[in-house]
Structure 1
Amino acid sequence: MSVPDGSRPERGERSRPADPTANPARSADPSSRVSDRRRKQAMAVGLVAAFMTLLDVSIVNVAIPSIDEAIHATPSDLQWILSGYALTFGLILVPAGRFGDIRGRRNVFIIGLGLFTLTSAGAGLAPSPTWLIVARLLQGAAAGLVNPQVIGLIQQLYQGAARGRPFGLLGATIGISTGVGPLLGGVLIQLGGEHNGWRLVFFVNVPVGILTMIAAWRVLPTHPPRRAERQGLDPVGVLLLGVGVVLLLLPLVQRQQWQGWLKWLLIPAGLLVLLGFVGWELRYRRHREPLFDLALFRLRSYSLGTLIGLLYFAGFVAIFFLFTIYLQSGLRYTALEAGIAITPFAVGSAITATLGGRIVNRFGRPLVAIGLATVAFGLACVVLALHYVPGHGAPWATALPLLVAGLGSGLVITPNQNLALSEVPVAQAGSAAGMLQTGQRIGAAAGIAGVGAIFFTTLASTHNGWSRAFRDSLLVTIGFVLVALVAAIVDSRTEQRGSPAGPGGTG
């Protein structure tokens, strides 16, 4: 039986204090006291912040040549400028989501956005590679503070099927920010010049960040800290999860700079630490509320959604990273031209993401399966296009297939996120969203490492083989998407056999 706000009690939670959001007679949470206008304003503020922080994952790709020339960065420096942001972003997500759950999402959102604005200015002023690396690490951590609060606010402000539209808008924001990053970066570099244009890539965040902070203070709902003696931030859990994530991600982000095979031993070490995290959380929850409630993984909607997100982002992010390298380094396109070439994917994703959020409650996981199949088909067409039209005609030949893949992507990210969080209690929305996004960050790092290895290995072994290297790497990307498709199909079959978690979930 569905509970209107998704606050169905989980095993192991019987001793927890009653939460007012769990009372179905009270419209489920404080959202009932927020006007539609205020809700839309809060959603707009959250989307702007999400766009800014996710944009900085991809916008810096096209700025790397300019950064290299301006501050004389080494290949290792450039790797950390690109990957350091993603590393600290993924590291902070779960504790940030938990902190917002128990201390109030508005305050954490504004603090994170302020730090993001400040570190963006610091990155733009960087006189040396070391300065820029430190700024990017801090900027990523600030972004990790902000993002779980956006999803937590959606869970808090909207109920049931009404979450479809805001999740659709968030999905469109993710798709657009990832796809339009190279284009916007190219425009800013064109305006600022090859030597200093890269600084505008960071400075653009400053005025937008200040205005968004002011708006957030005015329109985001206040949410007082939850009063309960069992609540806390679980410092040991934070440490174990942080060390585990770092050990998993470090060899992936440093795959080209750290020579030899010993770096890969960090991955099993990271898995052991994460196993220790699981044991600690199970023990800790007997006495106090843990950093992350592992009982959430008993929800098929959440566990399958997290797995699909990890697999899809392993291929999704790698597409833009490698296509940008192929166009700029292989075909000698400018940063602006490379950004324009990637735009069809972003356009397609934006078109279907909002629609996907609205109809996911009607179709459930099969909609995600259709989206994944469409992405795989579009990328397969890109491979064929590059086979028949290699070289400088590649952007024109791949425009329509990338549009098709983008249309499919819009039916994956938003609906999957909606389904994954559909049964999560509002009081745990931030930490659940943080874990979901951490999986996506780990998937993205693993995908870039794996797909990138194929790309550079093929390039090194083939004379003038840029097109072939990109085609081969796309085949690996399609493999990630197909594995995610299998998981979605399995979940769809389970739903059809009458499993408790239906398409709309309980949210």
Structure 2
Amino acid sequence: MTLLDTSIVNVALPSMERGLRASTADLSWVMSGYALTLGLVLVPAGRLGDLRGRRQTFLTGLALFTLASAACGLSTGATWLVLFRLVQGASAGLIAPQTSALIQQMFQGAERARAFGLMGSTIGISTAVGPLAGGLLIEAAGGPDGWRWVFYVNLPIGVAVFCAGLRLLPRSPGSPGKRECFDVPGVLLLGSGVLALMLPLVQEQQWQGRLKWALLPLGAGLLVAFWTWERRQARRDRAPLVDLRLFALRSFSLGALLSLVYFGGFTTLFFVYTLFLQNGMGYGALAAGLSSMPFAAGSAVGAAAGGRLVVRFGRKLVIAGLCTVAVGMLGVVAAVHWVPGRSVAWAAAFPLLVAGIGSGLTISPNTTLTLSLVPVRRGGAAGGVLQTAQRIGSAAGVAAVGSVYFAHLANHASPATALQYGLLTSVAIILLALCLAFADLHERRAHPQAERKREAARQEA
């Protein structure tokens, strides 16, 4: 539900513009505000779950998300809608890191890998099915207020999941031992750093000029200050927001970096492909949404298989997945080139299916490997770091690929040509992730005994 809301609103923007008489800036903040507040809350929310209990944090976030969805649907003006979307994004940030932490808490070994496989299926399906779900809802509701139903649909789901959570989620205490304090300065430093990094990326098309990019070095500086503060907290034997010893785990540090890069490549596919179909080929919202379904189906199948195979093949499976995604996206480029006109979606269906299978074989196995050696008591914060990396990667990828796409349109290139260059940029980003995976595999092969000893010692610790 929380991931669906990152994409389902895309197709509702024209309806919002008509129904609320919203400006372009309002519509931009409806989209980017959700992504911003979600990204800002992830790590503090993960740590809150570690300290105070994941079940309680999950249910609190779910209740707030459901209420914020109702408020979004009832909004009488664009300003109110933007405000409630910010609350909705923050609530989603409360929920997200608890999911991976609860899986770590409730499962071990091969069962944990299968659970992460199902989580990967959910990620793939919800990312791809959003435009279809939005198109169906708006077409069924009709009228200037059709957009409201992309928010109302969350209400019955939220209530049902809340009841299920009360019954099924384990009652577990927070952090054992003495009650740890929440690292407020760490939250402020990390939040301001992530905000400074993400804001120019998500507003890349709306903020003209180059001054916005001055926020990037500012964000990097704030993150360095955050790192320094967390080291100081650890030296004083105080509870940091993020235990920096996590980054000494090669599986965690490399997996988070690989995830950041990969999300910068694959999530951009839906951004430029949907724009191409609707603005370039004249597809309606529903037809454009249906065109993404092969990727969703492939992702569900690939993630379920990846959950079973990752214990046996490890990082090799991630490499195979990345190669498959790259081949599938190159197939989409070829389909757009060789099948001009409105039949392009049919020609791209099989390559999208291939790319979706590869994505499923990448996301859930990488999540399993990344969190495999993380202590359960730090699972929430670690999951928050991983998902923050994914959000930053997505924002950076959309900014980069979107710039390529819109630059070619501005130079009077055809929509098909602009899409091809945009997708080739996405493939280049995915190949960078592939290089990281190969480097890790080579390092493990070059020093197998040392690697096993380090990992065994860290796991015991």
Assess same fold via TM > 0.5: yes
- After superposition, the CA RMSD in angstroms is 1.4
TM-score where L is the length of structure 2: 0.96
Find out whether 1:292 has 2:209 as its counterpart.
no
2:153 equivalent among 180, 191, 204: 204
SS in 1 for 2:343: helix
1:301 equivalent among 251, 254, 259: 251
Find out whether 1:500 has 2:445 as its counterpart.
no
Query: Is the Cα contact below 8 Å between 1:230 and 1:288 reproduced in 2?
Result: no
Find out whether 1:468 has 2:417 as its counterpart.
yes
Deviations 1:7-49 (A, max 9, x none): xxxxxxxxxxxxxxxxxxxxxxxxxxxxxxxxxxxxxxxxxxx
Q: Name the CA shift for 1:201/1:372 in 2 (closer, same or farther; >3 Å).
A: same
**Structure 1 runs (4+) greater than 4 angstroms displaced:** 504-507
Aligned match of 1:123: 72
SS in 2 for 1:360: helix
Find out whether 1:454 has 2:408 as its counterpart.
no
Query: Is the Cα contact below 8 Å between 2:103 and 2:116 reproduced in 1?
Result: yes
Structure 1: gaps (5+ residues)? 1-51
Query: Is the Cα contact below 8 Å between 2:117 and 2:303 reproduced in 1?
Result: yes
Aligned match of 2:302: 352
2:231 equivalent among 282, 288, 291: 282
SS in 2 for 1:90: helix
For 2:258, the aligned partner's letter is I
Distance 1:414 1:65 in 2: 34
- Greater Cα offset, 91-100 or 55-64: 55-64
1:166 equivalent among 108, 115, 123: 115
Query: Is the Cα contact below 8 Å between 1:379 and 1:405 reproduced in 2?
Result: yes
Instruction: Count the aligned residue pairs.
Output: 454
Measure how far apart 1:277 and its partner are. 0.1
For 1:352, the aligned partner's letter is G
Query: Is the Cα contact below 8 Å between 2:39 and 2:388 reproduced in 1?
Result: yes
2:208 equivalent among 256, 259, 264: 259
Query: Is the Cα contact below 8 Å between 1:301 and 1:501 reproduced in 2?
Result: no
- Greater Cα offset, 216-225 or 100-109: 216-225
Query: Is the Cα contact below 8 Å between 1:61 and 1:324 reproduced in 2?
Result: no
Distance 1:194 1:151 in 2: 40
Alignment of 1:177-326 (within 5 A): 177-229=126-178, 231-286=180-235, 287-326=237-276
Find out whether 1:109 has 2:58 as its counterpart.
yes
Aligned match of 2:347: 397
Query: Is the Cα contact below 8 Å between 1:62 and 1:324 reproduced in 2?
Result: no
Query: Is the Cα contact below 8 Å between 2:72 and 2:148 reproduced in 1?
Result: yes
Distance 1:208 1:401 in 2: 32
Distance 2:45 2:452 in 1: 28
SS in 1 for 2:177: coil
Distance 1:377 1:431 in 2: 34
Find out whether 1:366 has 2:366 as its counterpart.
no
Distance 1:419 1:367 in 2: 11
1:337 equivalent among 276, 287, 293: 287
Distance 2:265 2:15 in 1: 27
Distance 1:123 1:320 in 2: 24
Distance 1:420 1:227 in 2: 24
Query: Is the Cα contact below 8 Å between 2:328 and 2:351 reproduced in 1?
Result: yes
Measure how far apart 1:390 and its partner are. 2.1
For 1:177, the aligned partner's letter is S
Measure how far apart 1:219 and its partner are. 1.5
SS in 2 for 1:285: helix
Distance 1:370 1:77 in 2: 42
Query: Is the Cα contact below 8 Å between 2:8 and 2:133 reproduced in 1?
Result: yes
Distance 1:410 1:339 in 2: 19
Alignment of 1:379-394 (within 5 A): 379-394=329-344
Structure 2: gaps (5+ residues)? none
